[in-house]
Chain A
Amino acid sequence: EAGVVQSPRYKIIEKKQPVAFWCNPISGHNTLYWYLQNLGQGPELLIRYENEEAVDDSQLPKDRFSAERLKGVDSTLKIQPAELGDSAVYLCASSGGDEQYFGPGTRLTVT
């Protein structure tokens, strides 16, 4: 069974540019999460989807971040415009129950 797929794995952009990350969860998993992981820290939840509905986006900085999961399967997280402080690893996870399964993450560097 394929795991959570994320792309790209690495992205380098200049500040003020837009960037998008893509995630395909494990087949059949209705719940999808986006996390932010800063260097030396644990992941912090940005947004959680139940199917296509965002049920917890309280930690998402909505002035520059947006996310969508239009058909309740794969999801895209966007930052526009990016700032230097957005440099981090963006993790996607999915769940069909109590356990969450993580993708490899996208490492973003903003210069």
Chain B
Amino acid sequence: QVQLQESGPGLVKPSQTLSLTCTVSGASVSSAGYFWSWIRQHPGRGLEWIGYIYFNGRTYNNPSLESRMTISLDTSKNQFSLKLTSVTAADTAVYYCARDRGAEGSVDCWGQGTLVTVSS
């Protein structure tokens, strides 16, 4: 059974960097075919796709966030991470890590989500 678990600070000050890690169990981030993704949901609102990283390190970032974000892979720990710099209150959201199946065109596994609040 594949499981994903987000970890990181729940409170970040404005202008600082949001850092989250997703630990994957039951699957390998080094395997082809899946896109390890970040998706966020602003309170009471819809879903926003942030970006993904592939097993070979290839990434795609949402252009709306691209200048501030980095997604990286740590195959030794079976983890992938998100860094978002210069955060503002608009970055307050529940952040999900997720597995996108690529060929089936959908996300089949999600972390439980972690609320990150940007506030001083």
Pairing of A with B: no
Interface residues of A (CB under 8 A from B): none
Residues of chain B having any CB pair with chain A under 8 Å: none
